[in-house]
Structure 1
Amino acid sequence: MATNNPNPIPFSEPPYLRGLPSPYHTESHRRFQKACRAFIWENLHKNALEWEREEEVPAHVYETFRKNNMLLPNLPSPLPVDWLKKLGIHDILGVKVEEWDYFHTGIYIDEMSRSGIGGPGMSMSAGFAFGIPPVIKFGSPQLQERFLPDFLTGKKRMCIAITEPEAGSDVANITTTATKTPDGKHYIVNGTKKWITNGIWSDYTTMAVRTGGPGAKGLSLLLVPLKGYPGVTMRKLKVSGQITGGTTFIELDDVKVPVENLIGREGQGMRYIMTNFNHERLTIAIGATRQARVALSSAFEYCLQREAFGKTLMDQPVVRHRLAKAGAELESLSAWIEQFLFQLKEMDRNEADIQLGGLTALAKARTGMVLNECAQVAVLLFGGNGYTRTGRGEIAEKIYREVPGTRIPGGSEDVLLDLAVRQLVKIFEVQTMMLSGKSKI
């Protein structure tokens, strides 16, 4: 049942929710957390496990979140205040839109993941979080006027479509083409997109397309109509975890898109995608950290009660050792993510994209490892119950199946580890040249 009292089970909550001092969380953050938790419990989490079993979240859930402005927290902070006020949106559960910061965002994502099941929350949030920001950040005033009123109010659903059957983390290898018609008024889009979260419900997508030659310089972003649009075929994909997230395969056969739907400039798509990835990777890390808390604290509680060989599992040193190692990894990760949120709150957005991009990739990769450790520990300590899709260990079994959904999307783990170091080397080289008085060519 829903409660805002601190959960006494170790590793179940971040320190500020256990009543410990926090240098980051203000009274505004704490008020929002309470209101957010109550709203999400009532409208999502109390039925999340049932909906995940049934593999579908009812449409009325999205409508409830939309009407209460509870899709907006998926956007990067600061929010597009001028646009929201123009649309008559002045607050989110009592927090004024102009006072919103990245800690409010982090609280929302954490609470959306509190059930431990990723799919139900993802069914409403992923497209909003990753598909709309490029339109806000790079779209022309005319494009924004045409689409943001319906996107920001959730009347039209969005997703982001980058990944293809042969191009996942290797974004520069995308082959979906957008070729201009002879009169220059339209793009004709051909290709396929795969593993597109929320795609099946989306009216539009921010799509990576090839408008030029090979490699990163040939990529652009295009706002492409989807649902019911001529030439577009979509079908759901069966995946092992986040089942209700609407993972979709999209085929595009001579899809005619107005040139005015170009986001930003031709050939700049790779740059736009990379900056968009920073928000995506951070939100994945926040949600997966909460899933790790659910897995580990559930196992902790079970070990206090389950008896074997004449005593509880918690009385076994090897069990305590497993919990301690996983818990140390989890709390260290949680503190690192809070540090990211503070830095994003204080830094200029463009500077943050440069300075924190590599580290965000590293944090997202590390989160996948920590979630894997916590979920695996939970399954092992639940024993046969953790291997069963129903019953006492069901939550551990489900979270363990969702681990790849953290380690692969948003850039697979090995790719991000390499990317992080390459980005840090670039920053080092630039700073070294500045100190030596040289300019980087």
Structure 2
Amino acid sequence: MSSTPIVPFSEPPYLAGHPSPYYTENHRAWQKACRSFVEKHLLANALEWDTQELLPEHVFETFAKAGMLLPSLPAPLPVEWLKSLGIHELLGTVKVEDFDYFHTLIYCDEMARSGLAGPSGSLTTGMSFGVPPIVKYGNRQLQERFLPELLTGKKRTCIAITEPEAGSDVANITTTATKTPDGKHYIINGTKKWITNGIWADYSSMAVRTGGPGPTGLSMVVVPLKGYPGVNMRRLKVGGQVSAGTTFIELDDVKVPVENLIGQEGMGMKYIMTNFNHERMTIAIGATRQARVALASATEYILKREAFGKPLVDQPVVRHRLAKCGAMLETQWAWVEQFAYSLTKFPKEVADVELGGLTAMAKAQAGIVLNECAQCAMLLFGGNGYTKSGQGELIERIYREAPGIRIPGGSEDVMLDLGVRQLVKNFKNKTKALERPQGSSKL
């Protein structure tokens, strides 16, 4: 048990001295190394940079050179590729072959300790969501062309799926990729919207329509972006996470070699959906830490703020509000840890089926919890929490960011519905598998 007092709700239980079955000594060493690196190179200036709506280029370069963009990839890491590039361990603490999803969880949690999603998202989103389709489904020539520069951070990428008229409704995207008469190129036309990191990206893993309507007509292609003929990009000013570089992309007769196809034509929907599991899981981890920052800040504030002749913490109504949100927060964190544990035990193909719907629900719930905790903090801070400067500045910013968790990565209502539909589908499939073959007397 830790003898050093910490502000209630400010750390997950395993860092507050509580016993945990999940974390090994290597996990704990990784957490300490992560915290030291991230505090020095990101958190110290995160709020200032987010206010300026842009992280300096040297921050990305520092993370890339230290291999500290790689932990945002799904575990296990692409060990063969990393070792071929001379990358054998991260921060001198964890070997790349030993990296598991608890290392991922710890990294995502530490990166979000500013309370803001923008600064960390400006660094990691492209690596976390844009690189995995190439690693998982790209053939050798595609990987050899792109992975060396992407994994080392010499080039940047993004995931480009969402369109102005097709957000969570991925199956109905309209951006087309039509082959030239000689079959050597795709000509891509359409628009992509709300693409995080797009404005800085050299490439994108893009969802396009190579076939007919519906999910079977979708494919994924590596499409060059920055400075490429036919590509026009502009930043979008959204309500929060502005420093993450949300982008609108127009594609006008963009000519891309057919060798840039990821995997097989018509398999894009499968690739996208399995990639979403990691995306939604990392969003849930980061949002839970954001909620923790908000609630811990509120707790610290009510311990010192006085009203009606006594500290706010002595008011029962204040403690009640804090308790309700605290229970939601710690329950959400326990669920996130359970997911991480499952991902270390399930084979990939099993995890995609068993956890797909639940991951969607966890992402949705994380947004709900963040919204409640941020709102609680704002109310307890009073006018200070509604002010864009001073002691409540961070709380005002976190509250403004809550919709940026509840909408992107699959909007909340769609995610909750998807979760139940997937659970029911799995139940029906397992029930059907137990049924006796028709006309057979055998069990």
TM-score, normalising length: structure 2: 0.97
Aligned match of 1:62: 60
3-state secondary structure, aligned to 2:391: coil
Aligned match of 2:441: none
- Aligned-partner residue type, residue 233 of structure 1: N
1:92 aligns to 2:93 (yes or no): no
- Aligned-partner residue type, residue 51 of structure 2: R
CA distance in 2, matches of 1:208, 1:131: 11
What does residue range 235-254 of structure 1 map to in structure 2 within 5 Å?
235-254=234-253
What does residue range 30-429 of structure 1 map to in structure 2 within 5 Å?
30-93=28-91, 94-429=93-428
Any idea what the Cα deviations from partners look like across 1:146-198, whole Å, max 9, x if unmatched?
A: 11111111111010000000000000110000000000000000000000000
1:132 deviation in Å? 0.3
CA distance in 2, matches of 1:135, 1:175: 22
- Aligned-partner residue type, residue 230 of structure 1: P
CA distance in 1, matches of 2:89, 2:239: 37
- Aligned-partner residue type, residue 146 of structure 1: R
3-state secondary structure, aligned to 2:390: coil
- Aligned-partner residue type, residue 356 of structure 1: L
CA distance in 2, matches of 1:164, 1:99: 38
3-state secondary structure, aligned to 1:393: helix
Aligned match of 1:14: 12
| 8 Å CA contact retained: 1:12, 1:294 | yes
1:243 deviation in Å? 1.2
| 8 Å CA contact retained: 1:196, 1:247 | yes
Structure 1 residues 388 and 52: CA distance shift in structure 2, 3 A = same
1:6 deviation in Å? 6.4
| 8 Å CA contact retained: 1:6, 1:13 | no
- Aligned-partner residue type, residue 283 of structure 1: T
3-state secondary structure, aligned to 2:277: helix
Question: Which ranges in structure 1 are unaligned for 5 or more consecutive residues?
Answer: none
CA distance in 1, matches of 2:107, 2:362: 19
CA distance in 2, matches of 1:12, 1:226: 41
1:436 deviation in Å? 2.1
- Aligned-partner residue type, residue 166 of structure 1: E
3-state secondary structure, aligned to 1:227: coil
1:434 deviation in Å? 1.8
* Residue among 8, 19, 24 paired with 1:26: 24
CA distance in 1, matches of 2:430, 2:13: 36
- Aligned-partner residue type, residue 125 of structure 2: A
CA distance in 1, matches of 2:57, 2:144: 27
Structure 1 residues 425 and 79: CA distance shift in structure 2, 3 A = same
3-state secondary structure, aligned to 2:355: helix
1:437 deviation in Å? 3.6
Structure 1 residues 180 and 6: CA distance shift in structure 2, 3 A = farther
Any idea what the Cα deviations from partners look like across 1:287-317, whole Å, max 9, x if unmatched?
A: 0000000000100110011111111111111
Any idea what the Cα deviations from partners look like across 1:271-295, whole Å, max 9, x if unmatched?
A: 1100000000000000000000000
CA distance in 2, matches of 1:350, 1:72: 22
3-state secondary structure, aligned to 1:41: helix
1:115 deviation in Å? 0.6
CA distance in 2, matches of 1:54, 1:418: 37
- Aligned-partner residue type, residue 66 of structure 1: A
TM-score, normalising length: structure 1: 0.98
| 8 Å CA contact retained: 1:29, 1:104 | yes
Structure 1 residues 410 and 274: CA distance shift in structure 2, 3 A = same
Structure 1 residues 6 and 274: CA distance shift in structure 2, 3 A = farther
| 8 Å CA contact retained: 1:6, 1:19 | no
3-state secondary structure, aligned to 2:187: strand
- Aligned-partner residue type, residue 58 of structure 1: P
1:7 deviation in Å? 6.6
Any idea what the Cα deviations from partners look like across 1:302-361, whole Å, max 9, x if unmatched?
A: 001111111111111110000000000000000000000000011101110010000000
Structure 1 residues 306 and 103: CA distance shift in structure 2, 3 A = same
3-state secondary structure, aligned to 1:221: strand
- Aligned-partner residue type, residue 82 of structure 2: L
CA distance in 1, matches of 2:354, 2:100: 19
3-state secondary structure, aligned to 1:389: coil
Structure 1 residues 405 and 54: CA distance shift in structure 2, 3 A = same
CA distance in 2, matches of 1:26, 1:5: 21
Aligned residues: 436
3-state secondary structure, aligned to 1:392: helix
Question: Which ranges in structure 2 are unaligned for 5 or more consecutive residues?
Answer: 439-443
Structure 1 residues 260 and 55: CA distance shift in structure 2, 3 A = same
Structure 1 residues 321 and 153: CA distance shift in structure 2, 3 A = same
CA distance in 2, matches of 1:53, 1:423: 40
CA distance in 1, matches of 2:332, 2:258: 44
1:47 deviation in Å? 0.4
Any idea what the Cα deviations from partners look like across 1:117-141, whole Å, max 9, x if unmatched?
A: 1111110101110000000000011
